[in-house]
Structures are given as structure tokens and as C-alpha cells.
Structure 1
Amino acid sequence: MRKYYIFIVTLFIALGINAQTEEEPALWSHAVQKISDTEYEITFSGKIMEGWHVYSQYTAEGGSLPSEFTFEKAGEDYELVGKTLESETITEYSDIFEVDETFFKEEAIFTQKIKLLNPEVRQITINLFYQICKEVCIPMDAYFQVSLDGNQFVATEKEVGAESLALSTSLKLDLKNKDLLNQESASNVKKKSGLWMVFGLGFLGGLIALLTPCVFPMVPLTVSFFTKQSQQKSKGITNAMLYGFFIVLIYFLLSLPFHLFDSVDSQILNTIATNIWLNVLFFVIFVFFAFSFFGYYELTLPSSWANKMDAASTKVGGGLGIFFMALTLAIVSFSCTGPILGGLLGSTTLAEGDVATNLTAGMVGFGLALALPFGLFALFPAWLNSLPKSGGWMTTVKVVLGFLELALAFKFLSNADLVGNWGILKRELFLGIWIVIFVLMALYLFGVFRFPHDGPKQKLSNARKLTGLVSVAFATYLVLGMMNFTNLKLLSGFPPPDFYTLSASESDCPLGLDCFKDFEEGVAYAQEQNKPILLDFTGWACVNCRKMEENVWSDPKVYPLINEEYVLISLYVDDRKELPEDEKFDYQFDSGRIKNISTIGQKWGTFQTINFNAASQPYYVLLSPNLEILNDAIQYVDVAQYEQWLKSGLETYQLSMNK
């Protein structure tokens, strides 16, 4: 299971999510030594924070990413003499990648000799790409502007030029009444309720996992083991309860490393959730999961892992032995729980609020559902007799899960299509694919066709017929929505927005509203019309943004307020369109960290962070044309709260106008 987590994190790394901590885990400097008129020796020194390590250039393939130097104009202005030498390294065997890895702790020193081909060259540029790891691994870059005129140190950060400083300054607003943003708002209640909803979804996922052939047969076997192996009944119950606790603990621990991403960069989780290629990768993975549930192949972790954990549980004994037994269950059941956990990981990136917190809540819910039967059946062993026998019904559960994984896969492909502005998976096509998926699921449940791992054909159970009818009803609901006979409010946020259709739309704003997608243009129009501003931080791949637009903004009480009383400015923080060259710049945070702003989404995401100290979407702010904040910021709320919030902002604005 640990390797499954490492696999997911490594995917983030491979996609080039290049983040930096507010306090750099490695500080780099360099020195230059002149050997002759044409030869120089450059030394790069890195001070590594305690607990972190940086990988060698020569660490074994198949493991973590090696350090790599890029010498700009090498072979043109100068040539490299020999290899880049390294200071003392540490080599240890990695159980994760099953190779010997070589790395530095505390300090890394690299030395490279160069020979000038062009005597007039006095400065060279060198980039160091390296992977620095603690609980998670972060790919980073260090830039060196090396002067050959003397033995000196040069700052490793790129300098922010005058143009970048000007554009950075323009990004900061002179907001009035900014203290209103710190007030407790009704949206915080929604956040907490949303967290419980994610916990509930995780719990439901765990209950479904219990019904799979990898987990269900283990419940009576494990409970019987504890009750029979203990001389005292109370001891057997205690051990079974401890076993259940360790199951919850293991799934809780799996979510903890994701919390480190928040300390890395406030925008990184949003970047992960809206990264085009990561969403495509999730699409491929979920399709892969789906076909494993259909029975075309089996997903398993190395059997040696389970054997080692099982041996450890026998050898160690006591509480620690029970922990290893729980870990063995997690590994053995991976072929069924892995795709469900993958769905949970993917779904939390679509949910409201902090991704890492959502994931922890979902994981705890999942682990609790798995653990609950072991405790209950230990307390009431007679209940074991009422359990249904293992059989073909568990295969049916897996296939239904496969169809659901397939449907969710297309949600991630839709995210990539929306963020990338590809225009491929329009609303009608998305709904059409979902209709086909749920029709096929109904046909399978009614026995029209079968999958490879299905057992002998038997009479259809009532539960299977009922599930088939639900699938038919859902497909019918989708058809009616595609034909505009219903508004599909139950699915708000999952299909592409209603303005993203095959037919030409008069507006690319939600619900046909007039909106601005540039802040300055919107403010200028608000000043001209003398109207307050509804500032909407949103995203193409933001599920709850679509829910707000389709369920709250569309309400007859809310829509006229937005349409007639406010100037709507919608800023998409996940828009991957490149900014014009003259609008790209480097933004330097107060901590000294520099972030390159090259896309529309990066610009508005940074704009939201530095002005409103927020990084989540949807995020709504009411402003006057002269940038006075009219009310507290609000996020995901219901119609009544949103209507009251808009009216309160209008009243504040009108009062300020009458002064």
C-alpha cells in the first residue's frame, strides 16, 4: 500500500509540479577558482536542512530522480573538462524502488572544470535540477549566474527585473475595509459540513470494499482467529478491536504526507487538481482500474510484501504483531481497495475545501468502515452466522464499481479538456458517453452480456434487478437533460458547464450572464456604470463552482441581483492559456520566493492569494468600484445565504454612496 502512495506522489513529480517551500530546504552558493587563462573550476555547495536529502547525479536508475546540471552554451562558449565530481555520499537500499539509492545529507558539493573556447566570455549560466526529499519528494531548480572575474558568490535566485516589479505592483490592490475578509462567514459552516460529507463518502467506499471478494471472506476468518486463539473471550475481543483500530490508523497515516503540500505552496493543490496532464493521467488510471474490476486482469502488490508482513505479525506478537496483521490485510486486499482508494483520491481533488483535509477525512471514513465489522463481530460472534455466503454477487459488485470508475474517468478527461480549452469533450458528448456507460451497466445487470470472471449463469437476484432499474432510470435522466427537458441539477459540477456546448453560445459566461474575465476591464466598467462588483474566483475544473452557478445563481431570487445590480468579474485560476509575452513576469513574495507568472490562471491565482489570502474556489468578494470591500467573503453556500449576502452588499454600497 505504501508503494501505491509513492506511485501517486511520483506521478506528481513526473508532471513537473515545481514547488518551493517558503523556507528553502536547500540553500545553494558557488565559488570560482581560476586554474589558467582558459581553465576554471566551479564549485556548487548546497546546505541541506535537517531531515532532508538530495540525490546524487549517479543514483541508480529505477529509483528517485538524480541531480542534473544544465550548462548553457556549453560546447559553444566553453567546454566541460571531465565529469561533475561530487562530495561524499550515502548509499542505502530502497525498499520502495528495490534499488540502491545514493544521496547527500546536510551538505552537497559538486565540482566541475571548464575550458573557455571564447576568451571574451566572462559569465556563464548554469541550472541545477535536483530532487529533495523528506516525507515527500519535491523537484526544484537552482540557477547560477557564474562570474569568471573573481572568486565570489552570486545569488541563486533569478533577479526580478524592472518590468516584473511593475507588473507585480499592479497585481496588488489598495483594498479598503480589508478586515471584513477575516470575519467568520456562513461558508465556514458549509466547509465543515462538506468535510463530513467527504467522510461519509469514504465510509460508503469502505462499506462497498467490504462486499468485494478480496475483503468479505476475511471478516469471519479473522474474527474467528482472534476469538479462538485467545484463552479469554475478553482478550479475543480486545485484540479484534485493536486490529480494527490499526486498520483505521493505517489509512489515516496514508493521507498525512499530502498535508505537506500545503506547506510547500498555497496554490500547489489547486495546481495538482487542475493540471491538464495529471487529469489525463487520472483518466487513464481510472480506465485501467475499471477494466481490472471487469475481470480482464488483476491488480496486486508484490506477494513478498504480504509474506513479510505476515511473518512479522507472527514473529513480533502482541500489539505490534496485530498492527502487522492489519497491514497485511491492506496489502492483500489492494486489488479491490486500490481502485476505490484511487477514486477517493481523485474525488477529493474535486471537492470543496482543502484537498489534504478532505483526503484525511475520506481515508478515516474508509478505514472505519473496513474496521467496524471486525469489532462488531468480535463483540457479537453469533452475527457471523447471518452473513451471506461468498459467491457471484461479489463479482457483480466489482463490475458495478468498474462502470462507476469508468464514468468518473471521463470527469477527469473533461477537466483536462476544459482547462486546456481543447473543445473536444463538449457537454452533449460527455452526457452521451455517460448514457452509454449506464445503459451498458443495466444490460450487464439484466444478464444481456457477461465479463470474463463471471461464474455460471444463474437466476437474477432482486437486488441485481433493482440496481439495473436504477441504472436505466439514471440513463433516462441523462437523456432528458441532454434534450433540455430537465436541468440536471443533481449532477451540477460533473458535466461540463451549460455554456460549453456543441451549439454556438452567445456568452461564455455562466447562465448567459455578462461577465468580465479581466479584473481591470471589469473595474473600469463598474466605475462607468456606478455599480458594485461581484468578484468570482472560479475554475474550469471546479465542481463546486458549477454547483453554485447551476443551483444558486440560477435561482429566480439570485439571478436578477447578479444580472442587474452587479458587475460580474469571473477570474479562472486554472486557465492554462499563455499570457502575451509582454505580460509575463516574475512575482517575488515577501518571503523572497520567486514565482514565474506565464499563464492566465497563474496570474489570477497569485492575485487571489496576495490580495485576499485565499487559494480555494469558488471564492466570492463584493467590491465597490473604488475597491472598498462591502461584505465578508463567501464560498459554497445555499440560495438563502447567497441572496442575503448579495442584498447586504448592495445596502452597504448604497449607504456609502449616500454619504
Structure 2
Amino acid sequence: MKKRLLTLIFTLFVGTFSVFAQMSDPTSWTFSQKKTGDNEYALTFKATIQPGWTVYSMSTPAGGPMPTSITIEKVGEGIELVGTAEESEPSKKHDDVFGVDVWYYSNNYTVTQKIKVTDPSITTVKGSVEFQACQEGACVPGEKDFAIELGNKGADKATVAAADETKDATEDDSLWLFFWVAFGSGLLAVVMPCVFPMIPMTVSFFMHGDSNKAKAKAKAIFFALSIVGIYTALGLIISFLLGPGFINWLSTNWLPNICFFIIFMIFAASFFGAFEIVLPSWLVNKSDKQADKGGYIGAFFMAFTLVLVSFSCTAPIVGTVLVEAARGSVLRPIIGMLGFSIAVALPFGFFSFFPSKLSNLPKSGGWLNAVKVVLGFVEVALGFKFLMVADQTYHWGLLDREIYIAIWVAVFTLQALYLMGKIKFAHDSDLPYIGVPRLIMIIITMSFVIYLIPGMFGAPLKALAGYFPPQETIDFDINRIVRDNAKEIMKSGVQVGGTQGAASAASNEPVKYSDFLHLPHGLDGYFDYDQALKVAQAQDKPLFIDFTGHGCVNCREMEQSVWSDPRVLEMLKNDYIIVALYVDDKTKLPAEEVYVSEYDGKKKNTLGKKNTDFQIKQFESNAQPNYILLDSRKGNEKVLKPHVLQPARGYNKDRDAFVKFLQDGLKEYKARAGK
């Protein structure tokens, strides 16, 4: 008896633990308010995120993971929103799966929304926060209700501190990346015709102008540090003059983006040799006279003279760095100029210590001008990014995706022709033959052009998605045309190599939600459990239930890496009826389908909420991807878990294991039928 009791307790413990292990809730939320004026309040929503998990910004672009959203009740009925929600600084990365740049949060996430209460009877603000949390292997949708009592309470200091801490951490990552980008730009400036020849001249001046070699090296190092100081001071001045508010305006408003586009075109024309961007001669001459004084003061003014003299070559690069810096935080101009100047000063300091290495430098010549021209083509391509921002802001329709890519194809094709010697500018030398470095550049450029061309017809070009207009702006998208045609065929009930056409005809009804939902790899399937179950029972096939989401990164990875296996595709097409249940879809349910959940007592009024409730209630899980093989003959039972054919699978890119999962499920289905 005691043994049975212990076994029962152990079973209950393990069962309870497994339920909680599957039911993930990786965030905890706190809500607070601060009175900011007459009937005005700042609402603060703070999430503490478990290590390894991320939550996505409210500004996540379309086509990416599910963004966070905040719904406040009675807006327009006694509550008015003041401005838009302000988020703590997110981290940014390019997501190869979705093909877009995504903004996300780790550890902490804070949103502030200002409101004005116009109805005196309102003393509590109610609403909900919807979000998606992801880690390696799983994504979990979440919804948190809030009820914030209004009053004169102060701000939640812990929340503010957490927001500042998160902002500092993520900003540090961004600044480090920008530092190295600026450093690379500085290395490009070194090989400009106005800078490169100055290296041996300057080093020789210091080494031969002073009998004390140690003192000469010290002056040379001071010269290099002066270059760093001068450029960094420029960044400091830009930051001081602009300030964070103006920098934010620069990065988001259409007018400065148009100006930046024009500036980039001017820089490109300068690189092509149309004109030179120079400073007044009196300024250069005055600095040069100060350099003749010698000593450390002379070294400083010699560095200043170098900066001024090389301005015609470095101005476009410096301008590019500063323009990009102005589109970020107030520290970016300083960090950008610091990285740029260190790269410019580095060769002067290095060769001052190792003058014998000067003989290894390539000789000046026509190749220096070729570097300028190549950078001119790059400036043209990058400049159109700013015009794209303005175009999307005002919906002018000038730069659809295929037009934008066509411009890049033209620009880099011309660059390749220039490198081949087929195009010649005013300051170019004759090209008697093509050297190996130039040939490598030609191959790289032409390969890039060939890579771009399919993008004009719908290819995602994932590596460059952040630089191009959104995929939906393309007019001639082959993938979309194929999908739309397939949907029309499916609606007509014609079989097209899968099961859905025949199934639709058998059930004599169109596939629900197929006008905006679809399966990958041309697979046929369903998006409503009851409809899929009816077809599966009619065809005597097991159900393959795919709990997925529009913003589920891991789901897309599984579809690309595992579902694409020919063995998997064959079984999904022929042996199973697929039903994809999107847990984050916002489609409103018809009034007759809205219900209150037995699980959490909340109203389920969207397709996503209905599917989430179904997953939690029947399979005790809320993670995606989640794959269930179900005996369709028992699909109408009130409790479905006993009729699952194999243990559920989640994110695991082992193709062989997934094939075995499908095979074992099919065997079990047949075994239960006595076949």
C-alpha cells in the first residue's frame, strides 16, 4: 500500500512538473504610473526577461517576429493618448530567417505611454500587453492584463533604473559596432591620393629632422595623436551642437534624408573627378606657417595641415561617417570620429617606429584614383538609401523594391566596367593591363551584380534586406504570383499535386483563412482544426498539427531546414492532413465563435487566441513550434492528449529524427486501426 502511495505521489509530481516545464512564461511584468500634469499621467510597463529569452520591440517591421503591443481600454471614451509609446533602447540584428532587421530586448524592457484622462470618473486604467518571447528552440506568445490605479504616486524608480541600464547596455553594443565601421572608413581614407603619399613624406620629415631619434619618434607619435584629437573634436562639436533631440529628427524626418541623399551624390561626383571639395587656401597656409615652428606645437599644426590638405579626399568619407552618426545616439559622432581618426593616424605612428617598413608600401600611382572612383560608386548606391526613407515616409512610390535594386545593379555594373577599363574618368591613367587585385575586385563586383538580379523578381536577398524597400513593394513577385494562383486553384477545388484540392472538394467548402495564410514549399493544408479534422476523417489519415506563429523565428527555421527535406515533404503531402494553427494571428473571430476560456476565464475573440487556448488546454504547452501527430478518428473527443500518436516535437533541426517521428506516427496510426 505504501509503495503504491509513493508511486502515485511520484507520478503526480512528475506530471505536474512536466506541465509547468512545458508551460513557459519567461517574463514578469510590473505596471506603474506617474502624474505629469493636470489629468495627465505617464504609464510605465516594465518586463523582466529571463536569461536566454528575447522580446521584440513595438517597432518590429512587418514580416518579422511578433511585435509587442499595448491595448488601453476606453481610449476615446475618457482617455486620450498623448504622443506615441516610448521604448527603452533596443538591440538590433538582421534576422536571416525573416529577411528583415529586428529590434529586440534581453533582460529588461520598458515602455512608457503618456495619457490624458478627460473623464473624472476614471480612476483606474485597464488594458493588456501582448508580446512574443523567443529563445533558441522555442517561441512563446504572451498576454498580460493590467489595472493601474491613478494618483499622485511617484515613478517606479526601479523601473526607470532598469530602463536606463538596458539602454546603456544595448547602446554600448551599437556604439562598438559603429566604432569598427568608422575605423574601416578611416583605413579607406588612408589609401586616398591626398593621404597615402603623405605617409613616407611625414615619417621621413620626423626621422631626418631631428638627430635625437627617441625625440623624433615622440614627436611623430604626438603628430598621430593630434590627428585623432582633431577629428574627435569635430565629432564632439557635432554632438554638442545637435543634441539628442535634433539627432532623432535627422534620423526620422524626410527632409534631412533628402538632404543626405543630395550630399552623397555631391560626394560621389567629387570622387568621380567632377570637382574637388577644398577649404579656403588662407586657412591651409596659416596652419602650414604654424607647423614651421617645430617642437610639439609644430607637430600639432603639421597634423592640422594634413587634415586640411587632405580634405578634398577625406571630406566625402568623413561626411559619410558623420551622416550615419547623426542617425543614432548623441555619442555616435564622437565614437565615429574617434574610430576614423585612429585608423588614419595608425600608419603614421607605425612607420615612425618602424621606418624600414616604408619600403614595403606600394608606390603611388593611378591605383589611388581608382580607389576614389570605386568609392564614388559605393557613395551613389548608399545615397539612395536616404531617398528610400523619404519615399516610404510620404508614400511617393518612386523607389519600389525592383526599381531600387535595378539602380544598384546599374551602379555596380558600371563599377565593374570601370575596373575593366571600359569607362575612364578625367584623372584616370591609361590601363595597359588588368592586375590580379583589380581582377579580384571585378569578380567580386560582378558576382554581387548577379546576386542582385533575382531580387528584381521577388528573391528575398536576405543578406541585404535592411538596405532595400520592403518585399511587399515589389510589383512583379514571382513567389507571390505562384502562391496567388495556387490559392485560386485551391478555392476552385482542383487537386494540384497535394491533398487539399481533393479534400476541399470532398468537404464541399473553401479552405478557411487560405486568403491570407499559406503553408511553405507549396504544401496543401488547413488553418482551422475542425475543418482539417473533417477532411482527415474522410480520407482516413492522421492529423499533423503545426502550432506556429507569424513571428516565430524557430518555426521558419524548421520549415526551411527540416520541412524542405524531400522525405519530410513526401510524407506530409501523402500521409498526413496538415493543419497550421497560428497562435499570434489577430484576425477577429465571428461573433458566434467568440467564447470565454475554461482555462483562464478570458474572452477569446481572435484566431490566435483561440488556437493558443486550444494548444494549452489540450496539449499543455504554449511554445512554438509544437508538432502534434493526432489520431483523427478520435479528434472529436473532449480530451485529445491520449490520442496523440507520438510524443510532441519542438524545435530540433535533426532531419532524420523528424522523418522517424512521422514514420512512427503513421505506424502507430495504422496499428491502432488494426491494419
User: Of the two, which has the highest radius of gyration?
Assistant: 2
- Larger RCO (CA within 8 A; separation ≥ 6): 1
TM-score (norm 2): 0.49
TM-score (norm 1): 0.50
